[in-house]
């Protein structure tokens, strides 16, 4: 029984302790109706610092789902900081009319689930069932 309790404690430390949020610095270059990169993939809980860098004319950045907006002129940058707290796929687009193909200037923020947390829930449930089965077996209820 002591071994099972020690294993439960170690699994708790290993899986349930949430890792410190990762801060990701992303330079988003805007030019000729396109963003580079146009797909940004992060994990839920990450802190993002997106730096908008326009190369030709004034461009904007609006992130649906988070309601974050910024804009910058060529030669200048604009920075937004936020936490990716919602899982899903969110479009971002230019919020400043920058030319004829402005409506097609889009990209995606993909916020994936925090897999260590999901795995930890299953591990704790499995450990609970194993502990219960062991206790019932030792107590003679499963003989």
Over the stretch 20-66, which tens digit does the pLDDT of each residue have? 568 999 999 999 999 999 999 998 899 999 999 999 999 999 999 99
In a domain, residue 126? The reply is no
Domain of residue 102 covers 19-120
Strands (E), 2-104: 23-31, 34-36, 39-43, 47-54, 59-63, 68-72, 78-83, 88-93
- Locate tokens 């689930």: which residue? 113
Domain count, the chain: 1
* pLDDT one-digit tens code per residue, 60-95: 999 999 999 999 999 999 999 999 999 999 999 999
Whether the full predicted model's pTM is greater than 0.75, yes or no, is: no
In a domain, residue 143? The reply is no
Q: How far is residue 25's CA from residue 57's CA, in Å, rounded to a whole number? A: 23
Q: How far is residue 28's CA from residue 74's CA, in Å, rounded to a whole number? A: 13
Q: How far is residue 25's CA from residue 18's CA, in Å, rounded to a whole number? A: 21
pLDDT value for 13: 59
């Amino acid at each position: 029984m002591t071994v099972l309790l020690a294993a439960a404690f170690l699994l708790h430390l290993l899986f349930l302790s949430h890792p410190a949020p990762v801060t990701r610095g992303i330079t988003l270059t805007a030019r000729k109706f396109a963003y580079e990169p146009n797909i940004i993939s992060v994990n839920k809980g990450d802190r993002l610092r997106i730096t908008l860098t326009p190369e030709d004319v004034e461009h904007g950045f609006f992130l649906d789902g988070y309601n974050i907006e910024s804009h910058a002129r060529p030669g200048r940058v604009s920075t937004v900081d936020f936490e990716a707290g919602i899982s899903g796929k969110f479009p971002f687009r230019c919020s400043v009319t920058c030319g004829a193909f402005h409506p097609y200037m889009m990209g995606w923020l993909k916020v994936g689930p925090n897999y260590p947390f999901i795995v930890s829930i299953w591990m704790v449930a499995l450990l609970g069932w194993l502990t219960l089965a062991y206790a019932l077996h030792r107590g003679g209820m499963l003989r």
